[in-house]
């Protein structure tokens, strides 16, 4: 397997992940940049939607790769070859996000009732939708990221893991140590809540004009 056979930045498929793991197992120092190249964009978007801060996202992703390198350097080639690489990377990254958020009050909150009892959560939708589909008509991706960053943590991380990190429900359940049904519910309700937040923001903007 040659690194040029790997795709550009974006999500790696199972066979491509296996190829990358083989490269890392054979020569970590030579091929670690391939891991960075093919995962950094999704990691950045994931963290940005968690924190709402581009600078924090850059810093967290950089630290995540540093931690990943040092961890891999202590793993045997056999262990590297059988890793669940993407889930492992997001676990490292999410740990840093949680540590940063617990030490900082910079995460912003929208003046909305986002509790479990909120009426914003009571409307049932027919099907799951990606955030971009659920919020069609929003002006740009930055606005979407800002809205996602305002979700309560349980919904924000579930939506990010499923739609940005492209993890399966089972992988998210293992990552967050939560039941599978809880993860599915949080993803669905997170998308519902995004719609309601977007609508509420639009209405407030109209009244402010």
Q: What is the pLDDT of residue 135?
A: 52
Q: What is the pLDDT of residue 133?
A: 55
Q: What is the pLDDT of residue 7?
A: 44
The yes-or-no verdict on residue 11 having pLDDT over 80 is: no
Query: How much is the average pLDDT of 77-85?
Result: 94
pLDDT over 90 percentage in the chain: 39
| Mean pLDDT, all residues of the chain | 77
With beta carbons less than 8 A apart as the criterion, state whether 47 and 60 touch: yes
Query: How much is the average pLDDT of 186-193?
Result: 90
Confidence of residue 120 (pLDDT cuts 50, 70, 90): very low
| Tokens 């305002």, located at residue | 150
Domains and CATH numbers, the chain: 8-102 (1.10.1740.10), 119-208 (1.10.10.10)
Complete DSSP assignment for the chain = --GGGS-SSSPPPHHHHHHHHHHHHH-HHHHHHHHHHHHHHHHHHHHHHHHS-HHHHHHHHHHHHHHHHHHHHTS-HHHHHT--HHHHHHHHHHHHHHHHHHT-------SS--STT-GGG----SS---HHHHTTT-S-HHHHHHHHTTS-HHHHHHHIIIIIS---HHHHHHHHT--HHHHHHHHHHHHHHHHHHHHHHHHHHHHH-
The yes-or-no verdict on residue 137 having pLDDT over 60 is: no
Which of 26-35, 98-107, 115-124, 150-159 is the least confident region?
115-124
- CA–CA distance, 197 with 137 (Å, rounded to integer): 14
């Amino acid at each position: 397997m040659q690194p040029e056979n790997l795709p550009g930045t974006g999500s790696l498929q199972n066979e491509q992940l296996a190829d990358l793991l083989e490269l890392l197992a054979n020569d970590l120092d030579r091929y670690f940049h391939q891991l960075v190249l093919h995962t950094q964009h999704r990691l950045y978007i994931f963290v940005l939607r968690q924190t709402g801060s581009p600078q924090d996202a850059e810093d967290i992703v950089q630290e995540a790769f540093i931690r990943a390198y040092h961890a891999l350097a202590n793993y045997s080639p056999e262990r590297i070859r059988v890793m669940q690489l993407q889930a492992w990377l997001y676990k490292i990254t999410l740990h840093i996000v949680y540590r940063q958020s617990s030490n900082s009050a910079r995460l912003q909150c929208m003046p909305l009732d986002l509790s479990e009892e909120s009426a914003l959560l009571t409307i049932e939708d027919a099907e799951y939708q990606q955030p971009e589909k659920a919020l069609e008509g929003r002006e740009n991706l930055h606005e979407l990221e800002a809205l996602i960053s305002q979700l309560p943590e349980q919904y924000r991380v579930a939506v990010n893991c499923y739609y940005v990190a492209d993890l399966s429900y089972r992988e998210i359940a293992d990552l967050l140590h939560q039941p599978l049904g809880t993860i599915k519910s949080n993803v669905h309700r997170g998308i519902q809540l995004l719609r309601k937040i977007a609508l509420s923001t639009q209405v407030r903007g109209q009244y402010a004009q």
